Structure 1
Amino acid sequence: MTQTIGELLEAAADRALPVVRGIDDGQLGGGTPCAAYDVRALVNHLFLVIVNFQALAARQEVDFSQEPEFVTGDWRGRFGDETARLVEAWSVPGVEEGTTGRMGLPARTVGLMVLGDLTVHAWDLARATGADFVPEESVLDELGPGLAAMAPQAREMKMFGEPFLVGEGASAFERLLAVTGRDPGWRPTGTTGTTRTTGTTGTTGTPGTPGA
């Protein structure tokens, strides 16, 4: 049985929250797999996405060009509050029916966009800060084909980088990351492993986000 976007977001949030809450203030200036963002900027971007996609669930207008400063005060606690509101917004009966956003995309597709952001950026932040992150299997099962279908449009809109080549033995999550233009082996400079940064403007993982 297909899970609802609300259920999938709840599962994704459960995996993302420990990563965000575990970020030390001293790590906020570090690099991430998104070349245009340090840790602080990426957390701030993820806040913006989570808040705006609450509005999109309610068929309200959003403006991704306006980005307040979210990483102040008890931002870790507020991140938990906002993800809970996101789950609630996408759990309203009928929320996946019809279309939403300026592009008039199917509501479930828009829900998959924020599911992708929450999952992929949680990996970005985990990799940047040395935390562990493994997505929930049901989320991965939904996102794999979903992001692959969105990828051509996402690349045209500069939301995904060019696909990263991975070997035949790559896991399903590594293949998903590669579709977004990420190197699954990325590590911060100065640590063991690959240090290649990927993407063009930070590969948000959500085609249509600026105009969603």
Structure 2
Amino acid sequence: MADRVPLDFDPPVRQIRALLLGVDSRDLTARTPCPEWPVAALLDHLMGQALVFTLAARKRTGDPGAGGGPPRPSVAGLSPHWRSRLPVLLADLAIAWKDPAAWTGTAQTAGVPLPATTMGTIAMTELVIHGWDLARATGQDFAADPRVLETLAEFLAQSPPEGSPGLQVDPSEEILLQTVALSGRNPAWRRPRHYPSAA
């Protein structure tokens, strides 16, 4: 029987890859729940994070991009080939975290070693929360496994105070919106009503 790993990256990766199909050129300048990032910068961030967390899972601390972390996300930094490149990076990420060895010992990003289980949970949080960001910014539906969300909500609730401050959580809300609030986002965020529909 194959070894089990704490978190399965396949579902959130499939979700984001599906969301990418609903992003058109007009969406790239649209606002997102991340105040300083339009959609293009969010996609740039996802590309950088996918690479960094893949290297972390594989313990490849000497590879380019592993030591200093990804550059600051920007519209200008988004690869013109993001439509073909980002799905590949996400698939590599999911494969890397399927290996039980990825979850053992320590893993490192930006020169900072952490317990591998913590690193994997951070990587999953990035995928799920930024998947929600992308869905909201482009007017698409989003769903996540409630069991995974419970893990992420517990993790975010224990984040140190010097990190991104979470918003007050309404315990009557569904677990997705609780998790989003704990990440510091407004669960009620929507793109403007006047936003043009995708072609």
With normalisation by structure 2, the TM-score equals 0.83
**Residue in structure 2 matching 1:130, options 133, 139, 161:** 139
Q: Which residue of 2 aligns with 1:163?
A: 166
The DSSP-based 3-state class of the residue aligned with 1:94 is helix
Q: Report deviation, 1:133.
A: 0.4
Q: Which residue of 2 aligns with 1:4?
A: 5
Preserved CA contact (<8 Å) 1:164 1:182: yes
Are 1:100 and 2:103 matched, yes or no?
no
Q: Which residue of 2 aligns with 1:64?
A: 69
Preserved CA contact (<8 Å) 1:48 1:67: no
With normalisation by structure 1, the TM-score equals 0.78
Preserved CA contact (<8 Å) 2:170 2:178: no
Can you list the C-alpha shifts for 1:56-115, whole angstroms capped at 9, x where unaligned?
A: 112223122536834313x22322111110111112242211011133211011011110
Distance 2:114 2:36 in 1: 27
One-letter amino acid of the counterpart of residue 171, structure 1:
E
Give the aligned length: 183
Q: Relative to 1, partners in 2 of residues 1:23 and 1:39: Cα closer, same or farther, differing over 3 Å?
A: same
Identity of aligned residues (%): 30
The DSSP-based 3-state class of the residue aligned with 1:187 is coil
Preserved CA contact (<8 Å) 1:43 1:71: no
Are 1:15 and 2:21 matched, yes or no?
no
Report which structure shows greater RCO (CA 8 Å, sep ≥6). 1
Over aligned residue pairs, what C-alpha RMSD do you find? 2.2
Distance 1:88 1:70 in 2: 23
Consecutive unaligned residues of structure 2, counting only runs of 5 or more, are none
Distance 1:166 1:172 in 2: 10
Preserved CA contact (<8 Å) 1:97 1:108: yes
Distance 1:65 1:14 in 2: 23
The DSSP-based 3-state class of the residue aligned with 1:95 is helix
